[in-house]
Amino acid sequence: MTTMLRRSLSSKAARKVAVLPGDGIGPEVMKEALKVLKRTAELFPKCAMTFEHGNIGGAGFDAHGEHFPAVTKALCERSDAILFGSVGGPVQEQHMPKWKDCEKNSLLGLRKAFDLAVNVRPAKVYPTLAHCSPLRSELLKDGVDMVIIRELLGGIYFGEHTTEGDSAKDVCTYTVAQIRRPLEFAFQAAKGRKGKLTVVDKANVLDTSRLWRKVATEMAKDHPEVTMDFMYVDNAAMQLIKAPASFDVICTENMFGDILSDAASVLPGSLGLMPSASLGSKLYLYEPSGGSAPDIAGKGVANPAAQILCGAMMLRYSFGEEAAAAAIEAAVDQAILSGVLTGDIAPPGTKSVSTSVFGDAVVAAMKA
């Protein structure tokens, strides 16, 4: 396994998890994720964990006058993984100090502090929730289950940005070292799935993309178990809609990954089903792909599936506990299959359940 996958801490009596619920629905869905993780530890004694809560985002501003307080950073530094909720407030309040640059200060602060260079976002369409997907059913019949791996700290977002008179410039730069990190994880991820890796670029135009192809081609020699192909980003965007079942693992640079992962996130029909992970050199962070949804905060209707599945990703990637991670994922599958659905995924005219009832159903499914 690659270094990024060798984060198992099985020798420790209990893993330390920094819990950062954040704002909006964050505390509600986090409560359910912790409920499931505590049940997991009962079933899998090696998964013993201790949880310490910290403030971030608007909650951090309220408690310490800043979005990413030093005390929260210190909590993360002494932890083995970060379980993150969501940050941000109502759109009409974005000008207020509590919310101005809240997401930027919180998330970019975490990425910078812990070298979170690789983002992992699964996108799975549950067969029983095909009605939620914006795609026609015939496009989903072969099963949609992909993972998009995005480089997070390089590319045009982090290049030189200048404007002079009527001219503006944004520079895209990549090094071989930056490219190898997400690709190494992608090759390893593909080995644990269907064995197919698609590297997305724009190599017919961009030198940075040609460098990505060169590095990927060289690395592929060390991973003969994986079938690798290349795809231009414009074609990849089309194929995500036309043939989403054709993808297994996608790896790409920062901006392309930003766009494609957002496009893929709508395929399951709800962001409430979409977990993600950001992987650093020493510490990994896990967060739902959706936002803080302040409009439904406190109503007990938010879908906690993504936050619960973040716990499964944490067990797999930070602690090397594959069986426990798979048990959580199977329990979420079972809850959904049995018709325990929150309002965002319930068919029209059917009864939906609350946030806590969904969490209870996942815990109940784990008893088997």
Residue 368: pLDDT band by 50, 70, 90 thresholds? low
The whole-chain average pLDDT of the chain stands at 94
Q: What percent of the chain has pLDDT over 90?
A: 91
Residue 319: pLDDT band by 50, 70, 90 thresholds? very high
CA 143 – CA 139 distance, rounded (Å)? 9
pLDDT at residue 12, as a whole number: 55
- For the stretch 64-115, pLDDT in tens is 999 999 999 999 999 999 999 999 999 999 999 999 999 999 998 999 999 9
Distances (CA, A) of 326 to 44, 54, 77, 157, 360: 12, 28, 27, 35, 18
Integer distance in angstroms from the first to the last C-alpha of the chain?
31
User: Is the alpha carbon torsion for 323, 13, 311, 6 positive or negative?
Assistant: negative
Strands 196-201 and 249-252: parallel
Task: Catalogue the active-site residues.
Answer: 157, 202, 234, 258, 262
pLDDT at residue 14, as a whole number: 87
**127 or 233, higher pLDDT:** 233
- Cβ 220 vs Cβ 188: under 8 Å: no
**306 or 291, higher pLDDT:** 306
- Nearest residue to 3 (alpha-carbon basis) of 199, 300, 281, 306: 281
- The first and second tokens of residue 95, run together, are 């000008």
**232 or 12, higher pLDDT:** 232
- For the stretch 323-343, pLDDT in tens is 999 999 999 999 999 999 999
Q: What percent of the chain has pLDDT over 70?
A: 96
- For the stretch 163-204, pLDDT in tens is 999 999 999 999 999 999 999 999 999 999 999 999 999 999
Residue 13: pLDDT band by 50, 70, 90 thresholds? low
pLDDT at residue 4, as a whole number: 45
pLDDT at residue 353, as a whole number: 97
Who's near 235: CB < 8 A, 6+ residues apart?
A: none
Strand partners, 275: 288
| The model's pTM | 0.91
Query: Is residue 299 pLDDT above 90, yes or no?
Result: yes
**What would the 3-class secondary structure string for 107-131 be?**
HHHHHHHCCCCEEEEEEECCHHHHH
How many helices (H) and strands (E) the chain has is answered by 12, 12
Query: Is residue 11 pLDDT above 70, yes or no?
Result: no
